[in-house]
Structure 1
Amino acid sequence: MATFDYAEMQAVADELITEFGQAGTVTRITPPDPVEGGEPTETAHPATLVPMTYDQRYIDGTNITTADRQIYISSVGLAIEPTVGDIITAGGKTFHVIAGDPNNYDRVTNVVFIVQGRIA
């Protein structure tokens, strides 16, 4: 029995996001050291992504609002896995990551990152 090639699916997802998407950033804010103190550190990671409006049937006004976007982020070349608390900048808008799904079916290859972004 043949195994599924997740690396090939990752390449296809990257190709589609590159063709129809845009450049953006995923910014991770690292809190200050609890002992030493200091300021939080922001690290911006360049990304290729596609922000899309949620289908009306998924918008309930609480978990998903009309201002939320479903953001597809290419995993190719992205140094981090977007997670809750990260900030995404795309098309001049800033989104807070509310929820995320790495689409990692074989526990090795992140095919594509799909996150719920809420306008900051």
Structure 2
Amino acid sequence: MNFYDEMAAIAIEMITEFGQPVTIRATTIGEYDPETGSAPADSTKEQTAQGILLDFTGQEFQNNSLIKQGDKKLKIAAQGLEWGPELLNKVVVQGRTWSIVPPLKEINPAGTPILYELQVRS
């Protein structure tokens, strides 16, 4: 196990201990078929991750005008995920659905994803 794999293992261990389960939901919209005049039903895939939901600090509000009142910071451990979160995905934390807004940060030293840091809005 290399150094970054060890860091990913530590991240998942700490977030599991102090965080909570988070559902990442990706919806693929059915593409319209002009020959049939219809579109197939949308498909949704989900996966459960471990995450920590945090408030932004006052200094973060001063330094970033894209943060709105009520936005939260969500840190998700990358280890064990089938796929990483994307901007069009939704996340469900404590029964509440949140949209991911830019920026979506991936902590990925040397090609090993360790942590995703998301700004989420309900």
TM-score normalized with structure 2 length: 0.85
Cα distance in structure 2, aligned partners of 1:43 and 1:77? 16
Identity in percent: 23
Q: 1:49: which partner in 2?
A: 51
Cα distance in structure 2, aligned partners of 1:41 and 1:30? 5
Q: 1:117: which partner in 2?
A: 120
The Cα shift of 1:53 comes to 0.5
Cα distance in structure 2, aligned partners of 1:37 and 1:93? 29
The Cα shift of 1:62 comes to 4.7
The count of residues paired between Structure 1 and Structure 2 equals 115
TM-score normalized with structure 1 length: 0.87
Q: Deviations over 1:1-55 (max 9, x none)?
A: xxx7111111111111000001120000111134372122111111111110011
Cα distance in structure 1, aligned partners of 2:94 and 2:82? 21
Cα distance in structure 2, aligned partners of 1:41 and 1:105? 32
Q: How does 1:1-120 map to 2 (within 5 A)?
A: 5-35=3-33, 37-59=39-61, 62-99=65-102, 100-107=104-111, 109-119=112-122
Cα distance in structure 2, aligned partners of 1:77 and 1:34? 34
Q: Which has the higher helix share?
A: 2
